[in-house]
Structure 1
């Protein structure tokens, strides 16, 4: 096993030999019966280059992001990581060669208010990471309103178990998995990081339940965490307008994700909060948490509160709150990538 107690590592002993039991506590009550059975993925948007030669660097800064797909990149598209829903698909991208011991893997998870988006939307991450020698799995998952919590969480955990169970087939190192997500995808990446020892009612449907869903590192980019505090946090930000405080509404992304208006279901909100799963007696992955201070879609206090809770639980956390930056299109991903790459290189070494 690599690393120390807080490294969030996974033993390789199960792989092709004896298997580790994922274990954990089955969530009952609040989450029972909350999950829809099927929700298709959003429309595919294929990764595209911008006409710049392969390998030429992003003109916006020294981000280490090729403007087009890295030369020799291998693609396995629309791999089914589970049955029962057409959304349970992933694209796996790998460098041209596989080192002895296998490739470290970064699971990237798209955002979209829990309702839309597609695995092909993460092309910038795919290019940047494959160019640095990582395998990258970009996931689709069931989305609201057709599928409600914990459906998406179940799916991403099942996808990681599938990838680990098939690590030998695809040349992956099952002990060096990380997760990266934007917005709603950051929430799901964080749930991967904090709930590795928890089981959910639908886990058996995806199989590989004796394989861990743990990751060693999480990159959380401007994601929601504590749904019931979001509107108060938006109101407290002078950069935001009164109309931006809409998360408590019945039609908000968070309410649709839970299948209930969040103000009427505090127990369900707590079950969906990643902080609920933190425990000082359990190994946690390393976290890189980044958020813009003028984000009026998901308030930056969500990430600040997550970092505080993770540290209190004994996790190693790097928190970057960016002045003058907002959500998604106004978040400076190009200039953030050197730090992301340095974090992953250290966490997965």
Structure 2
């Protein structure tokens, strides 16, 4: 076979800049065929006036059976060793379809890390809708960019082997090898794109039956070589510091210029994290609708301009349908299957060669959620074959609330503002309720919202400081509650040390310092977490003019740390991050640092992110002590302010902060537990607030 390394170098040029992607789990489990039943996924919509068959592939309908560690090949890896390559297969149970369409998904990790289990959540979502989903490992390298052509040759060959495996086992798992979608996140997305682009160049499109590509922030390639390139959905966050959002913007332009059907879901304000809770339901819905619409594209009279739309209760949305070139001469009517109480507000007739816009009215009492719409063209010519298409509307709360906490230099107190944005298309009037925990119990404070126009904001100075997360609701004049949400970030007030802290692996002198908990299920990113005895604990933070101090006592049933340097995150370890706040209140100059205890008692640290002018790698001036006794691990560090690029500290100083504890059992990184967010999935917007205050 000819060497394609040079070609892949250019088509994946941006991948070279993302050699370190830290969102992965280890590999190396013994091969097995283990079946587990999983309950249907949680992303679902409200009642819809459509048949169950019409919602197949769109709504969660099935319990999922998982077949783990199925070996699809054994190949020589870069170490010149034979490596078993495995996949996890997720299939819907009790579904009567003889052959089911297939989704093949490849994990991210910069071609050096990651595991098929990283995609368990999205795999369960798709399988519960009727797809057979394969999440596959592929050959990785410790230094993938030293011979990037060889790295990609191996990975592309593994993709081909997975597709061959589908054909071989199609009867056993009822997989339709003529209807396959392939995709992945980050490096996995790039791998899927480039495989599709390459096999098109070789004229093998029909050999694999690929009908769609799912690209989640995969680095772009240089060009699409064939206008018959499969339809593609792109998903990318605007604050992705690993693979720039602009790469997907350029790719969408290439697809548009080449006449390739595509959809583009932008995650506003999100980093390199497709499991971000703000967009998770949209990602599941967008990919599910896109695959359903493109699965049998030749039978479609129309395709949607985009799979997903947003609206608030009382708004009208416009669904735009693009006429397909294969069926231009027929005319007829669009039959609409709408959610209960929704109304079609426009003519649904269509003429030959015409696009169409359908206006749909969202009822005033619609609650937030995902609402599917199924549309079936009916031709005046009864012989014309036309199949339904779908779109969804994400009904969002009419108001979005942001809490800003700040230090007032005059009163020398911490204050909180609530910034209210009208996200709907209509004026909003009512009462904003903020429920919070106080010394006197739960308080329900109310604030008037008076004729807030679309896109307008209102800033409310709250007469109290909130450290705990509040619950917010908005009551309209008719008594309907149009919003109910809980703020997801924490605020910490760090006291200066009251007595000298000894960095010795003991936290006896920390007991009167600021504490924070790592014991809540919503903090955990471990699929089979068994509570705080599995992984959980308490953190402490303090400061003086020279250092910021962190203490952490964790219960961890197993301690495994066999990694060094920048890979210590793959074993049991602690990671923490700080960002400075500039004069405009924006986070800047992020530091991300980790510390770890090896099996032999030696310790290690590493810095993965730093402000300009500060070197990444080992943090020389950091003082650390880590001890392990029974099932308890104690981390204790003193970080000089100068190591963070901070040369002057004072009372009231505002920082952004997050802390994470990785969990590794039996040599496999299972996941992590995190206070705030933004480290495990890179997103500085998820960091919480930290204020340096004085002792009372």
TM-score (norm 1): 0.61
Match of 1:219 in 2: 214
Cα shift at 1:153: 1.9
What does 1:1-349 correspond to in 2, within 5 Å? 26-28=2-4, 30=6, 42-43=26-27, 54-55=39-40, 57=42, 71=63, 73-84=64-75, 85-97=82-94, 99-145=96-142, 148-197=151-200, 212-225=207-220, 273=221, 275-276=222-223, 278-280=224-226, 283-328=228-273, 331=276, 332-349=279-296
Cα shift at 1:54: 3.4
Cα shift at 1:283: 2.1
Q: 1:28 to 1:133 in 2, by over 3 A?
A: closer
CA contact (8 A) 1:102 1:173 kept: yes
Q: 1:128 to 1:56 in 2, by over 3 A?
A: closer
Distance 1:334 1:150 in 2: 35
Deviation digits for residues 10-35 of structure 1 (CA, Å, limit 9, x no counterpart): xxxxxxxxxxxxxxx94457379xxx
Distance 2:119 2:41 in 1: 19
Q: 1:157 to 1:304 in 2, by over 3 A?
A: farther
Structure 1 or 2, whichever has the larger Rg, is 2
Quick check: 98-107 or 296-305, which moved more?
98-107
Cα shift at 1:318: 1.1
Cα shift at 1:312: 2.5
Quick check: 159-168 or 175-184, which moved more?
159-168
CA contact (8 A) 1:108 1:125 kept: no
Cα shift at 1:81: 1.7
Tell me the SS of whatever aligns to 2:182: strand
Match of 1:239 in 2: none
CA contact (8 A) 1:217 1:286 kept: yes
Tell me the SS of whatever aligns to 2:284: helix
Tell me the SS of whatever aligns to 1:83: strand
CA contact (8 A) 1:43 1:117 kept: yes
CA contact (8 A) 1:110 1:184 kept: yes
Q: 1:303 to 1:28 in 2, by over 3 A?
A: closer
Higher strand share: 2
Distance 2:206 2:262 in 1: 26
Q: 1:305 to 1:330 in 2, by over 3 A?
A: same
Deviation digits for residues 218-239 of structure 1 (CA, Å, limit 9, x no counterpart): 11111112xxxxxxxxxxxxxx
**Structure number with higher relative contact order (C-alpha < 8 Å, ≥ 6 residues apart):** 1
Distance 1:347 1:287 in 2: 9
Cα shift at 1:43: 2.8
TM-score (norm 2): 0.32
Q: 1:307 to 1:165 in 2, by over 3 A?
A: farther
CA contact (8 A) 1:70 1:127 kept: no
CA contact (8 A) 1:292 1:300 kept: yes
Quick check: 166-175 or 134-143, which moved more?
166-175
Distance 1:29 1:291 in 2: 27
Runs (4+) off by over 4 Å: 25-29
What is the count of residue pairs matched by the alignment? 247
Distance 2:229 2:128 in 1: 28
CA contact (8 A) 2:62 2:95 kept: no
Higher helix share: 1
CA contact (8 A) 2:87 2:136 kept: yes
Tell me the SS of whatever aligns to 1:86: strand
Tell me the SS of whatever aligns to 2:192: helix
Q: What's the C-alpha RMSD, in Å, of the aligned pairs?
A: 3.4
CA contact (8 A) 1:111 1:185 kept: yes
Match of 1:206 in 2: none
Contiguous gaps of at least 5 residues in structure 1: 1-24, 33-40, 46-52, 200-208, 226-272
Contiguous gaps of at least 5 residues in structure 2: 9-24, 30-37, 48-57, 76-81, 145-150, 297-696
Tell me the SS of whatever aligns to 1:305: helix
CA contact (8 A) 1:57 1:65 kept: no
